[in-house]
C-alpha cells in the first residue's frame, strides 16, 4: 500500500504543476474495490489496498479585501504557539447563526406548499452551521458577521462563538471536479492563497472578544494520504503542505481554534490508511510549531456517515471502522503516538439516514439522505469535542449536468439525486428531502 516515510520527503520529490482533473477514486484495484476505474497518461493508476473516498464540497456567500500580519515566525506568548492546552472551545459559548444560511432556509421554506413540511423546514434556520469562505470575494462578509456576533454578545451578555471554513487552497480538490477552486499553482496560486489567508486574519484580529472555530481545507490533506497516484494531487502536495502550515500559524496567532479536515471513516478510516495519515497530520502540527490552538481534526465534512451505527452499513464492509466514532477511536491513539494529541469534531448535518449507498465512495447529492443529529457537546466520547453541521444542508455537492465544466462523474451515479445544480448552489428538492427524512425529526 501507499506509505509515506515523511511528508517532507514526498513533497520534495513532486513537481509543482497543474494537471487534469480526475475522480477521487481514480485507481485500479484495492481490497473490495467497486468504484470507477481511470487511466492516467496511458497507465492504470493503483493507489493502495484500501482506496480512499472523498466528499465534494463548497458553500456560502460574501465579497473580499485587506492585508495583514507576518506569520513567518512563532511566538512564545501564552495564547499563541506555546502554553497550556486551551481545551474544548465550545462549552460556555452560544454558537452564532449565520444570516446567509438562515435566509436560504427561509426562502426555501416559503417555497414549500405543504404547511407541515414548511414549518419543519423553518426550524433548520435555528441550527448553527459553518460559514464557508471558498473564494476571496466572500472574505469581507466575515467582518459583518463578526460585528454581528460582537453585538449579540454585548446585548445578551453571553459569550458567542463563530464557525468558519477556510477553503481555497491552490489546485483545490485535486482528485475531484465538482469543487475545484479559483487559484492555480502554476499561476502564482500559493502567493494568492496566502493573501486570502491574510485577509481573513486581518478581519479576525479586529474582534479579539469573539471566539472563532475554523475547519481548515476540506479534502486537502486526506488526498495526500490516498491520492498521490493522481497527477494533480502529486503536483499539489508541496503547496497544500505549505499553505496549510501558513494558515495554521496565522490563525493560531489570533487564538482561532482549528480543526484540520480528516476525511471520514470510508476514506482515512481504512486500517491501512491510519498510520500514513497520522504521519502527515503530525508533521503539519510539528512543522507549524505545535500551535496551541490547532485543536485537532474535523471528520465527515459534507459526507453522510453515522457517528455510531448499530451495525455496519453493507456499503462499509469490510472496514472495521464503519462509522465516525470507530474511525476516531482507531485514529486518535495513532495520531498521539505520532506526536499530535488531536481532538475531533464530527459533521452530522446530513447523516440522519443510513443504508442509502451501494458504494461507500458515493458522496454527491446522495438520494434518501436526511438531516442528522443536531449540534451538541454530548458526544459520548472524550475524543470528540462537538457534533456539528459543517456542510449547510440544501447547498448542492455538484452538478448532474454531464456537459458542465465542473461535472464530476460521481454526481451522475444511480445514488446521486438528479437535476442537481453546481456545488454550493441552492438545491431546493434536496433540501426538502433532507427535511422530510430528518432523524431525529425536526
Is residue 318 reached through a cis peptide bond, with omega within 30 degrees of 0 on the bond before it?
Answer: yes
Label residue 137 exposed, middle or buried (CB < 10 Å: 0-12, 13-18, 19+): middle
Sorted by where each starts, the structural domains of the chain and their CATH numbers stand as 7-436 (3.20.20.40)
How does pLDDT run along the chain (442 residues), one tens digit per residue?
A: 333 333 344 344 333 333 333 333 333 444 443 433 332 222 333 344 444 444 444 444 333 333 344 443 333 343 445 677 899 999 999 999 999 999 999 999 999 999 999 999 999 999 999 999 999 999 999 999 999 999 999 999 999 999 999 999 999 989 876 667 899 999 999 999 999 999 999 999 999 999 999 999 999 999 999 999 999 999 999 999 999 999 999 999 999 999 999 999 999 999 999 999 999 999 999 999 999 999 999 999 999 999 999 999 999 999 999 999 999 999 999 999 999 999 999 999 999 999 999 999 999 999 999 999 999 999 999 999 999 999 999 999 999 999 998 898 999 999 999 999 999 999 999 999 999 999 999 9
CA distance 380 to 316: 22
- CB of 53 within 8 A of CB of 25? yes
363 annotated among ligand-binding-site residues = yes
Q: Phi first, then psi: what are they for 26, rounded to 5°?
A: -80, 75
Sequence-ordered list of residues with C-beta below 8 angstroms from that of 236, at least 6 positions apart, any chain: 16, 169, 170, 171, 174, 185, 223
Sequence-ordered list of residues with C-beta below 8 angstroms from that of 408, at least 6 positions apart, any chain: 23, 56, 176, 177, 178, 364, 398
CA distances from 190 to 112, 186, 221, 232 (A): 43, 9, 16, 15
> Whose CA is closest to 272, among 7, 23, 49, 13?
49
CA distance 261 to 258: 10
For residue 43, what pLDDT is reported? 31
Q: How many other β-carbons are positioned within 10 Å of the β-carbon of residue 274?
A: 21
134 annotated among ligand-binding-site residues = yes
- CB of 390 within 8 A of CB of 347? yes
- CB of 395 within 8 A of CB of 402? no
CA distance 250 to 80: 10
**Chain-centre distance for alpha carbon 185:** 21
Q: Which residues are catalytic?
A: 173, 219, 397
Sequence-ordered list of residues with C-beta below 8 angstroms from that of 117, at least 6 positions apart, any chain: 432, 435, 436
Can you give the pTM of this predicted structure?
0.83
For residue 180, what pLDDT is reported? 74
For residue 14, what pLDDT is reported? 36
CA distances from 424 to 56, 391, 397 (A): 10, 10, 6
For residue 318, what pLDDT is reported? 97
Amino acid at each position: 500500500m501507499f506509505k509515506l516515510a515523511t511528508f517532507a520527503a514526498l513533497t520534495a520529490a513532486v513537481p509543482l504543476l497543474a494537471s487534469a482533473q480526475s475522480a477521487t477514486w481514480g485507481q485500479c484495484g484495492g481490497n473490495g474495490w467497486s468504484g470507477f476505474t481511470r487511466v492516467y497518461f496511458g497507465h492504470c493508476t493503483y493507489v493502495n489496498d484500501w482506496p480512499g473516498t472523498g466528499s465534494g464540497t463548497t458553500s456560502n456567500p460574501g465579497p473580499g479585501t485587506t492585508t495583514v500580519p507576518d506569520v513567518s515566525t512563532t511566538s512564545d506568548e501564552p495564547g499563541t504557539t506555546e502554553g497550556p492546552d486551551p481545551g474544548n472551545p465550545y462549552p460556555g459559548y452560544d454558537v452564532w447563526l449565520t444570516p446567509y444560511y438562515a435566509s436560504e432556509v427561509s426562502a426555501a421554506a416559503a417555497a414549500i406548499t405543504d404547511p407541515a413540511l414548511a414549518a419543519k423546514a423553518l426550524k433548520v434556520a435555528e441550527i448553527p452551521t459553518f460559514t464557508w469562505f471558498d473564494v476571496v470575494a466572500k472574505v469581507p462578509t466575515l467582518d459583518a458577521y463578526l460585528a454581528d456576533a460582537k453585538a449579540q454578545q454585548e446585548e445578551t451578555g453571553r459569550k458567542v462563538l463563530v464557525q468558519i471554513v477556510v477553503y481555497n487552497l491552490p489546485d483545490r480538490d485535486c482528485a475531484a471536479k465538482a469543487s475545484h477552486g479559483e487559484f492555480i499553482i502554476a499561476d502564482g496560486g500559493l502567493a494568492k492563497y496566502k493573501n486570502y489567508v491574510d485577509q481573513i486574519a486581518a478581519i479576525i484580529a479586529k474582534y479579539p472578544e469573539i471566539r472563532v472555530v475554523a475547519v481548515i481545507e476540506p479534502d486537502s490533506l486526506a488526498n495526500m494520504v490516498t491520492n498521490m497516484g493522481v497527477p494533480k494531487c502529486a503536483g499539489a502536495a508541496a503547496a497544500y503542505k505549505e499553505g496549510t502550515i501558513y494558515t495554521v500559524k496565522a490563525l493560531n496567532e489570533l487564538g482561532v481554534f482549528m480543526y484540520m479536515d480528516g476525511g471520514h471513516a470510508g476514506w482515512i478510516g481504512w486500517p491501512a490508511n491510519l498510520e500514513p495519515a497520522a504521519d502527515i497530520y503530525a508533521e503539519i502540527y510539528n512543522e507549524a510549531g505545535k500551535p496551541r490552538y490547532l485543536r485537532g481534526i474535523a471528520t465527515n465534512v459534507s459526507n453522510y456517515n453515522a457517528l455510531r451505527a448499530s451495525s455496519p452499513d453493507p456499503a462499509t464492509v469490510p472496514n472495521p471502522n464503519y462509522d465516525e466514532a470507530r474511525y476516531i477511536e482507531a485514529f486518535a491513539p495513532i495520531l498521539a503516538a505520532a506526536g499530535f494529541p488531536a481532538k475531533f469534531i464530527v459533521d452530522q448535518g446530513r447523516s440522519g439516514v443510513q443504508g442509502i449507498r451501494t458504494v461507500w465512495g458515493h458522496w454527491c447529492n446522495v438520494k434518501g439522505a436526511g438531516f442528522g443529529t443536531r449540534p451538541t457537546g454530548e458526544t459520548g466520547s472524550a475524543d470528540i469535542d462537538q457534533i456539528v453541521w459543517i456542510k449547510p444542508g440544501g447547498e448542492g455537492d455538484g452538478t448532474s449536468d454531464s456537459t458542465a465544466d465542473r461535472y464530476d462523474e460521481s454526481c451522475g451515479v444511480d445514488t446521486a439525486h438528479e437535476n442537481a445544480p453546481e456545488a454550493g448552489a441552492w438545491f431546493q428538492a434536496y433540501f426538502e428531502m433532507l427535511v422530510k427524512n430528518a432523524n431525529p425529526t425536526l
